[in-house]
Structure 1
Amino acid sequence: MNLLLCSAIFSLTATFALCGIKDLHEHFEHFDETQSIDLHGLHNNGTLKLSPEFHKENTVTNDLSTEGEEEEDYLDLDKILSEDDDYFDIIDATPDSVSELKQGNILELFQGKTRIQRLNILNANFAFNLYRSLKDKANSTDNILLAPVGISTAMAMISLGLRGETQEEVLDSLGFRDFVNASSKYDLMTIHNLFHKLTHRLFRRNFGYTLRSVNDLYIRRQFPILGEFKNNMKRYYFAEAQLADFADPTFLAKANERILKLTKGLIKEALVQVHPATLMMILNCVYFKGTWENKFPVEMTQKHSFRLNEKEVVKVPMMRTKANFLATVDNELDCGVLQLPYVGNISMLIVLPYKQASMKALEKQLTPQVVERWQKSMTNRTREILLPKFKLEKSYDLIEYLKTLGINELFTQNGNYSGISEESIIINKFSHQGTITVNEEGTEAASVTTAGFMPLSAQIRFVVDRPFLFLIYEHRTSCLLFMGRVANPTKV
C-alpha cells in the first residue's frame, strides 16, 4: 500500500537581507536519491543497524547539515527518544475541570493519555471537522482523501509566525488552545516540541513500514524574514530556509522534481504555478508505504459488484483473504468497523455503513471519542474479508474550507504575520494534494454510548461492497495519518 500526500503548500505574497538562508541551487543539488541501506542488517542483540544515511532518507528533510549534530542523533535512537521523554511517555494528571465537563467533551479522552497522544487526539478532531467541511461542498459520489498529520503540522509551522487574533483563531480551530489549557505544565512551545518529538517517533524509526515527512521553507531573495521564525522552523520542524526566485520557471521544475523523488514518483507537478510576487512558501509532504500483516492472495482477486447507491452498481477488482481480524459493530451509527493491520504499529480502519443513508449520519458524528470506543469494543476472530482495490488522487485548495472552521483572519489583509516579517504579507494559497493505492500487498501513498456496540460474534464475513470510510492510525502515538471516503473505487 502506497500513500502519499503533498500535505500543504503555503505561499505568501506582499504589496511589497539575506538572513543566513542557503542557496536554492545547493538545496536541490544536495538531494541524492541513490542513498540506500540494507534494512535487514541487525546488530548482535537483534536490533536494527540504522545508519546516518537511513535516517537522512527517512526523516523530515534530506537537507539538514550534520554540522553541529552529534553522530548519535542518527545512531543511538534510545538516547534520542529518552531526551525530554516526558513529552510523549509521561501521563500528566487530568485537569480537575474535566470531571465537570459535559459528556462528549474532547478533553475526556485525555485521561490516561500521554502528551503526544493528547495532541494527536486534537489533531484528529480537527481533521474530522475539516473532512466535514470538504464533504459538505462535495457530491455524495466524490471520493475524499486527506493527510491530517500533514495539515496540522503545516498549520503549526505557520502559527510560529502569527500573533494576536490571527494566532488565536488558528490555535482555537486546531484545538491547540484546549491543549495548552489542559495543564499548567503546557504552553505554546510544548506543542511545537511535541511535533518535533512526533517527527522522531514516526519518521526516524523503522518498524517494518516506510513513513516519511518533508518540510521545506522557500524564501524570496531580499525578503526580510525574522531570524526567530527562521530558527524555530528549523529547530522544531527541520525546515531550513532556502532562497528561491518564484518568478523563475526553473524553480517550479526543480521543486517538482524534488517532490517527485521524495514521494517515490507519486506526486507529479505538485506546483503548477506560483505567483511571481510570492515571498515565502511552506511545503509539507507525507509518504507512507505499508505491507499488510495478512496479505490478500493475488489469485483470489476477482471482479465483484460494488453498490454505488440503491440504483447503481459497478464491477471492481475485489481482494479476498481469511485470517484473524479485529472488528466491531456500531448499532447506533449502523456500521461495521474492521481493523486491517500493517507490519509495524499502523493499521487501517474500514468503516462500512450498512445502508446508504447511514453514511451521512456517520460522517456527521465521526469524532475521536467514537473511534476510541470502536477500538475498545473490537473482538478478534477468524474472518473472511473482501475489500476493493482502489486508487485515489485528490487535490484541494483548503482556504475556503478552513474559513468554515473559524480560520478567517489568516487569509485577509488583517492577518497578523508580525512573527514572520515586518513586511505586510498575506497567505494566498494553501493547497493539499495526495494519492493512495490499496492493493493485495498493502498500501502505498500518501458520542456513542458503549451500549451501542456489540462484537461481531455472529458475522464471519466482512464484505466492503458499498461506499466506506478509511482511517490510518499509528497506534503508539494515536496519530491519524490519513483518512478518506471511497464512494466509487473505479474513480480516482
Structure 2
Amino acid sequence: MSNIYLCVLLAGLCVLANCHHVPGHQGGHDGHEHPQEDQPPTESHQENGLLSYWKIAPSALDFTLKFYYQVHPDTDGKNILFSPVGIINAFFLVALGAKGNTVDQILSGLCYNQSVNSLQEIDDGVYHLLQWLYRPEAKLKLRPGSALFTADKFQLQQEILNKAQDLLHADVIPADFKNTEEAVTQINSYIESKTHGKLVDVVKGLDPEMATVLVNCVFVTGYWEKRFNHELTRKMDFFINNETTVQVDMMYRDGYYLTYHDDELDCDVVNVPYKGNATALLILPQKGKLHEVEHGLSGEVFLKWKVSQKLQRIQLSLPRLTLYTSHDIKEALIRLGVTEVFTDQADLSAFTGHPNLKVSKAFHKAYLNIHENGTEDAAATVIETVPTTLAPAVIFDKPFLLVLYEQIARVPIFFGRIMNPNEH
C-alpha cells in the first residue's frame, strides 16, 4: 500500500454560560424552580425521528465511558475533556467509507451492536440524532462543522459524498496537500471559523501524500436556567491533591437542585440545568475517592442516580474555569479494538473505489468555559426567595467529573474530569 492517508481531526468546543432569570417564570407548583428530567416519547418526538435514535442511544454512554477509561491512564493528574458526539460522528463518517472487517471494527469500537441494530437502523439513528441536536429552535445551541478536505487527484465516490452531506451535513472542500503550508492554513481557518475563534492553529503539519483530512467540530452554547450572581464569586482554595492547592474564582448560588449522595461510591451528584433540555451533571467524589468513582461509573450507576436524585435546596459552589485539552484518540481507539483502519490492511475502498487508503492520525482538541455571565443580559438583577434556614453546602473544591447531557436525546455531548481549574 502506498502512503495515502486519511487524517481525522476533532475540534470540540463547549461554551457554557448562564443567563438572566426567565421573565414570568415561576418554576413548579411550590414556587421553586424544578430542573428538567428525561421526557417520555411524544408525537413530536416521533415526527422528529428521535424514536429511531433511541434504539441505539445506549451505545453513546457505553462509548463515552469506555473511551474515558482508555484516555485517563495517559492523563494522570491532568484535565480531561472530550465530545463523545464529535468522536462518534467523525468515525461514523469514516465507517461510511469502510468495508468488511474494517467497518465492523469501527462500529464495534463505537459500541454499536450490529447483532441488535442493523446498519440501516444505525444510519437512521445517527441522522435523526443530528437533526435533533442541530435544530435551529433548540435552546442548547449546537452548531456543526464537519468537512472532508480532499486532494484533487483522489475523487471520492458520489455515494459517499451524498451520505456525508445528507447524514452528517459535511462540507466537501478541495485541498492541495502538496502545498502543505497552504493546506494547513486552509484547514485551521475552517476550524477557527466553526469554533468562533476559540480553537486556533489546531493542525501543525500535514503529509504531502495526504488524500483526505476529515474535520469535525462541535460548538455548543448553553445558558444556565438559573444564573450565578457574579457579585458572589470569591477566591477560594481548590485542593488538587494532598500536596497542591490553587486559588480559583468560586461561583456561588443558594437554590434548588436535583441532588443525590451515593454512599457506595462516596460522591455527591448535582444536576445544574440549562434552558431547554440539557443539564450539567456534576459528580464530586469525596477526598481520596476520585479513582474509585471513575472506575465505578457505568450505565447502571447513571440510572441509579437518575431515579434516586431529589430536589433539594443547597449552597452550590462551582469554580469558574476555562480549559483547553488535547487527546490522541487514535491510541484510545486502538485499545478499544479499532485497529485495522490505521494499518495497511484497512479497507476504506468505499471512499475512492481503491483500497490504498488508511487513517494516519486522529486527535481531538476541546475547549470548555464555565462562568456566571455570558449574555448581554448578564447584568440584570435577579431576586429569588428562599427559606432563611441554612442549606447544606456542596463545594466543588476538589477534582470532579462533568457531563453535559441532552436529556431528550439521552446523549452525552461532553464529558470531562476537572483536576485543576487553572490549567489551560
| Fold shared by both chains (TM-score > 0.5) | yes
Aligned to 2:84: 148
For residues 32-181 of structure 1, the aligned pairs below 5 Å read 85=48, 87-89=49-51, 115-139=52-76, 141-176=77-112, 178=113, 180-181=114-115
Deviation at 1:15, TM superposition (A): 8.4
What do residues 87-139 of structure 1 show as CA deviations (whole Å, max 9, x unaligned)? 423xxxxxxxxxxxxxxxxxxxxxxxxx4234232112111111111111122
**Secondary structure at 1:420 match in 2:** helix
**Secondary structure at 1:119 match in 2:** coil
State the distance in 1 between where 2:338 and 2:391 align: 44
Deviation at 1:372, TM superposition (A): 1.9
State the distance in 2 between where 1:254 and 1:159 align: 25
State the distance in 1 between where 2:187 and 2:339 align: 29
Q: Is residue 305 of structure 1 aligned with residue 241 of structure 2?
A: no
Q: Which of 373, 382, 400 is 2:304 aligned to?
A: 373
Q: Which of 103, 115, 118 is 1:187 aligned to?
A: 118
Q: Which moved more, 1:146-155 or 1:366-375?
A: 366-375
Q: Is residue 485 of structure 1 aligned with residue 421 of structure 2?
A: no
Decide whether the 8 Å contact of 1:161 with 1:418 is kept in 2: yes
**Secondary structure at 2:363 match in 1:** strand
Q: Which of 319, 340, 357 is 1:409 aligned to?
A: 340
Deviation at 1:438, TM superposition (A): 0.6
> Structure 1 residues 119 and 461, CA, compared in 2 at 3 Å: closer, same or farther?
same
Decide whether the 8 Å contact of 2:83 with 2:413 is kept in 1: yes
Aligned to 1:102: none
Deviation at 1:433, TM superposition (A): 0.6
Aligned to 1:68: none
Q: Which moved more, 1:296-305 or 1:118-127?
A: 118-127
Q: Is residue 216 of structure 1 aligned with residue 130 of structure 2?
A: no
Decide whether the 8 Å contact of 2:192 with 2:198 is kept in 1: yes
Deviation at 1:441, TM superposition (A): 2.6
Decide whether the 8 Å contact of 1:337 with 1:374 is kept in 2: yes
Moved over 3 A (4+): 78-83
Query: Identity over the aligned pairs, expressed in percent?
Result: 27
State the distance in 1 between where 2:421 and 2:273 align: 21
Q: Which of 310, 314, 322 is 1:391 aligned to?
A: 322
**Secondary structure at 2:159 match in 1:** helix
Q: Is residue 205 of structure 1 aligned with residue 141 of structure 2?
A: no
Instruction: Give TM-score scaled by structure 2 length.
Output: 0.83
Deviation at 1:296, TM superposition (A): 1.0
**Secondary structure at 1:375 match in 2:** helix
For residues 231-310 of structure 1, the aligned pairs below 5 Å read 231-248=162-179, 249-310=181-242
What do residues 165-224 of structure 1 show as CA deviations (whole Å, max 9, x unaligned)? 111111222221x2x433xxx411221222111111111132333211111111110213
For residues 319-468 of structure 1, the aligned pairs below 5 Å read 319-356=251-288, 358-421=289-352, 422-441=354-373, 460-468=392-400
**Secondary structure at 2:300 match in 1:** helix
State the distance in 2 between where 1:79 and 1:468 align: 38
State the distance in 2 between where 1:305 and 1:391 align: 17
Show structure 2 runs of 5+ residues with no match. Answer: 7-41, 376-389
Deviation at 1:253, TM superposition (A): 1.8
State the distance in 2 between where 1:326 and 1:82 align: 28
Decide whether the 8 Å contact of 1:292 with 1:342 is kept in 2: yes
State the distance in 2 between where 1:118 and 1:371 align: 18
> Structure 1 residues 283 and 81, CA, compared in 2 at 3 Å: closer, same or farther?
farther
> Structure 1 residues 80 and 204, CA, compared in 2 at 3 Å: closer, same or farther?
farther
State the distance in 2 between where 1:199 and 1:468 align: 29
Decide whether the 8 Å contact of 2:55 with 2:125 is kept in 1: no
> Structure 1 residues 80 and 278, CA, compared in 2 at 3 Å: closer, same or farther?
farther
**Secondary structure at 1:432 match in 2:** strand
Decide whether the 8 Å contact of 2:83 with 2:414 is kept in 1: yes
Deviation at 1:351, TM superposition (A): 0.3
State the distance in 1 between where 2:401 and 2:318 align: 12
> Structure 1 residues 372 and 253, CA, compared in 2 at 3 Å: closer, same or farther?
same
**Secondary structure at 2:349 match in 1:** coil
Q: Which moved more, 1:429-438 or 1:363-372?
A: 363-372
Decide whether the 8 Å contact of 1:120 with 1:480 is kept in 2: no
**Secondary structure at 1:181 match in 2:** coil
Amino acid at match of 2:106: V
Decide whether the 8 Å contact of 2:349 with 2:357 is kept in 1: no
Decide whether the 8 Å contact of 2:347 with 2:355 is kept in 1: no
**Secondary structure at 2:350 match in 1:** coil
**Secondary structure at 1:472 match in 2:** strand
Amino acid at match of 1:211: L
Decide whether the 8 Å contact of 2:313 with 2:391 is kept in 1: no
Show structure 1 runs of 5+ residues with no match. Answer: 1-11, 17-77, 90-114, 444-457
**Secondary structure at 1:137 match in 2:** helix
Deviation at 1:442, TM superposition (A): 6.6
What do residues 295-343 of structure 1 show as CA deviations (whole Å, max 9, x unaligned)? 1111100011111112322211110011111100111111110000111
What do residues 4-30 of structure 1 show as CA deviations (whole Å, max 9, x unaligned)? xxxxxxxx95189xxxxxxxxxxxxxx
Aligned to 2:379: none
Amino acid at match of 2:99: R
State the distance in 1 between where 2:374 and 2:121 align: 35
**Secondary structure at 1:198 match in 2:** helix
**Secondary structure at 2:221 match in 1:** strand
Q: Is residue 228 of structure 1 aligned with residue 228 of structure 2?
A: no
Deviation at 1:265, TM superposition (A): 1.1
Decide whether the 8 Å contact of 2:5 with 2:359 is kept in 1: no
State the distance in 2 between where 1:317 and 1:125 align: 34
Aligned length: 372
Amino acid at match of 1:181: S
State the distance in 1 between where 2:204 and 2:295 align: 34
Aligned to 2:248: 316
Instruction: Give TM-score scaled by structure 1 length.
Output: 0.72
